[in-house]
Amino acid sequence: MPANPPRLSSPLGERPRPGIVHLGLGAFFRAHGALYIEEAMRQSGGDWGIIGVSLVRPAQRDALAPQDFVYTAVELGPEDQTRRVVEIVRDVLVAREEPEAVLAAMSDAAIRIVSLTVTEKGYCHEPATGGLNRDHPDIVHDLQNPDEPRSAPGFLVRALARRRQAGLRPFTVLCCDNLPDNGRMLRGIVLELAELIDPALRSWIAEEGAFPSTMVDRIVPATKDEDIKRLAEETGMLDLSPVMHEPFRQWVIEDNFVDGDRPDLEAVGVEIVKDVAPFEHMKLRCLNGTHSSLAYLGYLAGHETIAETVADPVFADFVTHLWQQEIIPSLTPPEGVDLTAYTQALFTRYANPAIRHRTGQIAMDGSQKLPQRVLGTISENIEARRPSAGLILAVAAWMRYVGGIDEKGAAIDVRDPLADRLKQLSDGADGPDAKVEALLSVREIFPATLAADTRFTGPLKEAYAALINDGARKCAEGIAG
């Protein structure tokens, strides 16, 4: 790389006027929604520039501000790559530093959509039920300090209250996280919080607001220092916040916007549909369910990335078994979709060697992910007397993972909002069966009926014991072989 490459900056003077506030401006949205929205504006016009918000950390703003908020999106195919400079982001605010500026932006009449990628844990909900967790420290804080919120639901409710007071229309709330019925779930959370503040506000949001459900899909591993360095070498410009993504992308959105006001997304391949549920189930179970399964088992088996994991024939067979025997039979496909072809294409996406998606990254926040990715499929399979041994093995691998020690005796850096509690439960129990029982008692993750069902707990205990004795690779081989 040249000694001091110049900083990337906006090549065009003119930039789009904002129409969207996005909460949680991480790599995923910058490599997915932001690109679609920019393309839709280029194609059909409209003022849909994006004001990004980081809820807590300033890193994203600090990296993007000196480069006029433009960044490079690098598409990594198995053989070649393409680059594009993205200019749709106009500003980045850090909510923890300036909550008032965020509320002011969200209450501006020009803003018609507030979209979110705050990750599963950002909704302050109970993963097992989807309802608001009223004891969440950020929710407790937001009820006491409504004008200085911390949580995403707190910002939504306060900004909607201000709009109502100002006689403005509500914005459309566009949830883009991997949660089941994500729009409906977020609507429930927002209404519950609004009710605690002002029942009239709740009614207004319920009547006038819109919370379309969405299915989002693109594999976007966290950007690494080596990506930044390589890009600077290739372009001669320094971009401190590029995003690396696979070629594939899909966005399915329920046709439900306040006053129908939105970018012309169909023009650029977004599917606007009546019912997102079949797409969402397909993606959460086929992609995210196997991603998490491969992440825990692959990590324990010593594989660093998903591509490395599926390059191991044992795990290639294992994931194929999961799709064919355990997941596809649980699904009703969206009209016109062939699930076998869909999962074959998924395998090719996982195997893309240019995408270095770390198993440790996907393993994060398992307590928030397991219910919708894996446990729902297991429950339905048990009721329908279909096989579930592979998914149950994945749950056992998660239990082993959150115990914090890998197969070689090294410590695992477990990142999860419940990490301390999970470790205490595991450490405090004596022997494999007791550890499984202890972790099954976490109601935020395991519904009481499933945790008491011996058709689940029996095989789970066996799988956990086998993982301790034989290791993840051998256990996965036992399932698919």
Nearer to ligand CS2, 113 or 287 (CB): 287
Listed ranges 79-87, 99-107, 194-202, 211-219: which one lies at the site for ligand CS2 (CB under 6 A): 211-219
Exposure class string for 147-185: b at 16+ Cβ within 10 A, else e: ebbbbbbbbbbbbbbbbbeeeeebbbbbbbbbbbbbbbb
Total number of residues that touch ligand CS2 (CB under 6 A): 9
Is 228 among the residues that bind ligand CS2 (CB under 6 A)?
no
Is 362 among the residues that bind ligand CS2 (CB under 6 A)?
yes
Nearer to ligand CS2, 135 or 413 (CB): 413
Q: How many helices (H) and strands (E) does the chain have?
A: 23, 11
Least distance to ligand CS2, CB of residue 220, Å: 7
**Who contacts 314 (Cβ-Cβ below 8 Å, separation ≥6)?**
473, 476, 477, 480
Nearer to ligand CS2, 54 or 119 (CB): 119
Is 63 among the residues that bind ligand CS2 (CB under 6 A)?
no
d(CA 40, CA 38): 5
Is 359 among the residues that bind ligand CS2 (CB under 6 A)?
no
| Residue among 476, 473, 79 nearest 303 (CA) | 473
Is 330 among the residues that bind ligand CS2 (CB under 6 A)?
no
Is 129 among the residues that bind ligand CS2 (CB under 6 A)?
no
Least distance to ligand CS2, CB of residue 197, Å: 32
Residue corresponding to tokens 């393409």: 82
Residue corresponding to tokens 């900083």: 7
Is 121 among the residues that bind ligand CS2 (CB under 6 A)?
no
Is 20 among the residues that bind ligand CS2 (CB under 6 A)?
no
Least distance to ligand CS2, CB of residue 288, Å: 5
Is 324 among the residues that bind ligand CS2 (CB under 6 A)?
no
The burial of 377, by beta-carbon neighbours within 10 Å (0-12 exposed, 13-18 middle, 19 or more buried), is given as buried
Is 281 among the residues that bind ligand CS2 (CB under 6 A)?
no
Pick one of 75, 91, 217, 239: the residue that binds ligand CS2 (CB under 6 A).
Answer: 217
Task: Give the residues across from 72 on adjacent strands.
Answer: 85
Pick one of 35, 51, 161, 219: the residue that binds ligand CS2 (CB under 6 A).
Answer: 219
d(CA 86, CA 15): 11
Which residue lies nearest ligand CS2, judged by its C-beta? 291
Is 291 among the residues that bind ligand CS2 (CB under 6 A)?
yes
Is 355 among the residues that bind ligand CS2 (CB under 6 A)?
no
| Residue among 381, 401, 399 nearest 389 (CA) | 381
Six token digits for residue 338: 């062939």
Q: Are 393 and 297 in contact (CB under 8 A)?
A: yes
d(CA 251, CA 175): 12
DSSP string, 200-215: HHHHHHHHH-B---EE
Task: Determine how many CB atoms are found less than 10 A away from the CB of residue 39.
Answer: 19
- What is the biggest distance separating any 2 CA atoms in the chain, rounded to whole angstroms? 65
3-state secondary structure of 393: helix
Least distance to ligand CS2, CB of residue 319, Å: 13
Listed ranges 18-26, 214-222, 376-384, 395-403: which one lies at the site for ligand CS2 (CB under 6 A): 214-222
Six token digits for residue 117: 């990628």
Is 400 among the residues that bind ligand CS2 (CB under 6 A)?
no
Pick one of 22, 218, 303, 400: the residue that binds ligand CS2 (CB under 6 A).
Answer: 218
Is 288 among the residues that bind ligand CS2 (CB under 6 A)?
yes
Footprint (CB under 6 A) of ligand CS2, residues 166-195:
178
Least distance to ligand CS2, CB of residue 348, Å: 14
Binding site for ligand CS2 (CB under 6 A): 178, 217-219, 287-288, 291, 361-362
